[in-house]
Structure 1
C-alpha cells in the first residue's frame, strides 16, 4: 500500500506537487489568520486574561463593561481590609507625550496597584514598582515599538505630571492600549482620578463571605466571573467572531477544493484501479493507498505551513498584533489534516464502483 502510493506520487510529481502547494497556501492562510485573531484578542484583553482575579463586582447597569462601572470604595476600604482577598481595579485612560515629542501622543491605560497585591504582574526587565510617592511607572513591553526605553519620561498633559519608566512587564494590554502601572500612593496623592473611586472590585478566590460583605457595603452591583467581563470588553467579541468566521469559511472552502482535486485524480486513474482490481486488489487496499498519499501530502504541507507561520513572527512589524500560539496552531493543523482526509474520502466512492471488466476492456 505504502509503496504503491509512493511510486504513484513519484510518477506524477507535478500533479501531486500542485496539490501540496494548494494545501500549503490554504493552511498557511488559516494559521496566519488564527495568529492575528489570537494577537488581536491578547491586545484587547490580556490584562484581564492574565490577572489572577476570578470574580468582578460591577454596576448592575454597566452590562459588565468596566468603563461603565464605578463605585465609591472609601467605606469598603475602612470596613473590609484588602488583606481578606479583594482589590479595587481602576482603568484610567491616559495620553502621554514621549520625552517632549508633543506631536506623538501615546495612548495607554493607567492602573494603580499595590506592589504587594496580586494585581501587580511584576517586571520582565528593569526595576520593580515601589509603594512610595515617586513618579515611577511600569509599562507593557509593547511600548518599546514606540521607542520607549528604561528611564525615559512620559508626560501626561491632563495632570501635568511627568513619569519615569523604570521597568517593563509583559502581556498587559487593555482595549488595544498598553497598560501602565503606577503606585496607589501616587495615584491618590496626585488625584489623577477622583479619590477612592474604582471601576470594579475583584476577588481572587470564590469566598462567599467576602462577596456578601462587599455587596452589603457597595450595593447596586453584581458579581460576574472573568469570562463575562472579557466578553463585554468593547470590540472583543465582534473582532473574534469576524476572524473566526473567516477561518471557518476557509476550512469549508478547503474541503471542496481538496475534494475536487482528489476526485479529478481518481477519475484519471479509474482504468488503473480497474486493472488492479482485476488482478486481485481489494477496495480497502486501493482506498488505503489513496489515503496514504493524502496523509503524506498533508503532513508535509502542514509542517511547512507551520514553519512558515512561525517565521512570520520575525517578519511582521513589532507592533503587529500577531501571536503564534502552539495550542491554537496545533488545533487548526489537526483540523486541516482531518479536512484533507475528508476531501479524499469523498472521492472513494468512485474507486468502489470501478468495474474491473470495463476497465480491462477500455485499457490499451
Structure 2
C-alpha cells in the first residue's frame, strides 16, 4: 500500500493524465447513457409508465401495431378476464391551436382504465409539454378530420409517444377521425391468459412491445453500442498504460522480489493505483453528468438515473481491474536476477 502511494506521488503527472482521460471517457459514457434514457422517455414514456404486463395485437399485423385490428368479440372476452385490462389505439396526427398552427401529437384512446385519464366526447387531455406551446386549459383545438372542437380539460406529466406529446381523446372521437371501429391493442397488467383465449393474437412484454417501435429500437441500439464501445476503450486504456509503466519498472520489480516482496503484493499495489484513479475519475464525471439533470436545456431529452450510474460505475471498475490485471501478467514472469541485470544494463 505504501509503495503504491509513494509511486502515485512520484509520478503525479503520469497518473493525472491517465485519470483525466478516464474521467473524460466516463463522463462521455454517462452523458450518452443519459441521452439514451432521455430519448427513451421522450419516445415511449406512454408505454414505459405502464406496469409490466402483456400487450396483444393481431398476428397478421406483422408486429406493426398500426395494422392491428382486434374484433369486438375477442376484445370483450379478454377485458372480462381481468378488471384492469384495457383496449387501446395509438395514431399519429395533429391539432390546430387557437392561432391555427398545427401541432403534431399522438392520439391515444382507450377503454375505461385506471392507467389512462377518462375523457368525454369533445374533450382532450394533453401531455404537459404542450404548455410550452402556449396551450392552456379551456382552449378549443381542431382537427381537419373532426367535425367539432376539442376542449382542453387538463394535462398529464411524462406522456409521450414517438417523440410527440400524447393527446388522450374519447373512443367515439377517435373513430370519427380515423374511420375505424376496432381497437389496435389489448393490454393486461397481470393475468396471463390461455392460448385459446388469445387465438390469432401475438403477445409482447412491455420491453418487447417497445422494440416493435422502429425509431425506439434504432435509437437505443445505436446509443447503447456507443456506451459499450467507450467502456471497452477505457479497459484498453488501463491495460496499455499499466503495461508501459510495468515495462519501465522491470528492474524495480526484480529488486522488490529479491528482497522478499510477493507477486500478489505487486498486483495489489497496481490494483490500488487503478482503484484510486478510477474512483476519483468517476466522482468527477458522475458529479458533472448529474448536474446536467438539473441544468440541461428543456428541449434536451436527458435523464441519468441512479441505477444507471451505479451499473456503469461498477462496469468501469471491473473493466479497469481486468485491464490492469492483464497488463500485469509480465510481473509474474519477472525473475529477480534477470530484471536487476536488465535494469543495470
- What do residues 35-58 of structure 1 show as CA deviations (whole Å, max 9, x unaligned)? 222222222232222224722331
> 1:64–1:228: 8 Å Cα contact kept in structure 2?
no
Contact 1:40-1:321 at 8 Å conserved across structures: yes
How far residue 72 of structure 1 moved from its aligned partner, in angstroms, is: 4.2
The answer as to whether partners of 2:54 and 2:204 remain within 8 angstroms in 1 is: yes
For 1:112, the equivalent position in structure 2 comes to 109
Q: Give how far 1:173 is off.
A: 1.7
Partner of 1:352: 332
Does the alignment pair 1:206 with 2:191? yes
Q: Structure 2 vs 1, CA of residues 298 and 161 (structure 1 numbering), >3 Å: closer, same or farther? A: farther
- Give the corresponding residue for 1:141: 128
RMSD: 3.0
Deviations 1:220-272 (A, max 9, x none): 43444433322211222222222222222222222222211111122222232
Distance 1:80 1:305 in 2: 49
Q: Is the 8 A contact 2:75 2:186 kept in 1?
A: no
Aligned: 1:56 with 2:55: yes
- 2:6 maps to which residue? 7
CA distance in 1, matches of 2:262, 2:75: 77
Q: TM-score, normalised by structure 1?
A: 0.83
Q: Deviations over 1:189-237 (max 9, x none)?
A: xx2333632112223332537x755x5xxx7434444333222112222
In the other structure, the counterpart of 1:125 is none
Find the counterpart in structure 1 of residue 95 from structure 2: 96
Classify 1:138/1:248 alpha carbon distance in 2 versus 1 (closer, same or farther; 3 Å).
Answer: same
**CA distance 1:222–1:14, change in 2 (3 Å):** closer
TM superposition outliers: structure 1 runs of 4+ over 6 Å: none
Could you tell me whether the CA contact under 8 Å between 2:84 and 2:113 is conserved in 1? no
Relative to structure 1, the CA distance from residue 164 to residue 267 in structure 2 (aligned partners, 3 Å threshold; closer, same or farther) is farther
Say whether 1:266 aligns with 2:253: no
Q: Which residue of 1 aligns with 2:318?
A: 338
Identify unmatched segments of 5+ residues in structure 1: 121-128
Matched residue, 1:181: 168
Q: How far apart are residue 296 of structure 1 and its match?
A: 0.6
1:193 and 2:192 are equivalent in the alignment: no
- How far residue 324 of structure 1 moved from its aligned partner, in angstroms, is 0.8
2:246 aligned with 1:228, yes or no? no
* Counterpart Cα distance in 1 of 2:132 and 2:254: 63
Whether the 8 Å CA contact 2:50–2:115 is kept in 1: the answer is: yes
- Quote the offset at 1:293 in angstroms: 0.5
Query: Counterpart of 2:125 in 1: which secondary structure?
Result: strand
TM-score normalised over the length of structure 2: 0.87
In structure 2, runs of 5+ residues without a counterpart are none
Name the residue aligned to 2:155: 168
Indicate how the Cα distance of structure 1 residues 179 and 16 shifts in structure 2: closer, same or farther if over 3 A, else same: same
- CA spacing shift, 1:293–1:159, aligned 2, 3 Å: same
